[in-house]
């Protein structure tokens, strides 16, 4: 079931939202929903990622920085 919320945005963000929604050919509502889903997903798995990086570090695995240095 969909629920309605009211959202206040600064004018510059609203303008950027409208421009991006036109570029992507989706509604502003859909773009906001996608952004919130992505934000929540990233923040849901961030603690797991931190835990796995700590384990990899203990076992001599590569960190993000190690890989970045290898490919740079």
Which tens digit of pLDDT belongs to each residue from 30-58?
999 999 999 999 988 888 878 877 777 78
Task: Kindly state whether residue 3 falls inside one of the protein's structural domains.
Answer: no
The confidence band for 24, taking pLDDT boundaries of 50, 70 and 90, is very high
Provide the number of structural domains found in the chain. Answer: 1
pLDDT at 18: 97
Task: Kindly state whether residue 5 falls inside one of the protein's structural domains.
Answer: no
Task: Kindly state whether residue 34 falls inside one of the protein's structural domains.
Answer: yes
Task: Kindly state whether residue 38 falls inside one of the protein's structural domains.
Answer: yes
Backbone angles phi, psi at 63, to 5 degrees: -90, 170
**Can you give the residue range of the structural domain that contains 52?**
17-71
Q: Look at residue 10 and tell me whether its pLDDT is greater than 80.
A: yes
Task: Kindly state whether residue 9 falls inside one of the protein's structural domains.
Answer: no
Task: Kindly state whether residue 26 falls inside one of the protein's structural domains.
Answer: yes
**Interatomic CA distance for residues 20 and 7, integer angstroms:** 17
């Amino acid at each position: 079931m969909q629920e309605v919320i009211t959202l206040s945005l600064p004018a510059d963000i609203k303008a950027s939202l409208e421009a991006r929604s036109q570029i992507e050919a989706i509604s502003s509502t859909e773009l906001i929903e996608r952004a919130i889903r992505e934000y929540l997903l990233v923040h849901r798995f961030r603690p797991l990622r931190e835990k796995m990086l700590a384990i990899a570090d203990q076992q001599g695995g590569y960190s993000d920085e190690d890989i970045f240095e290898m490919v740079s």
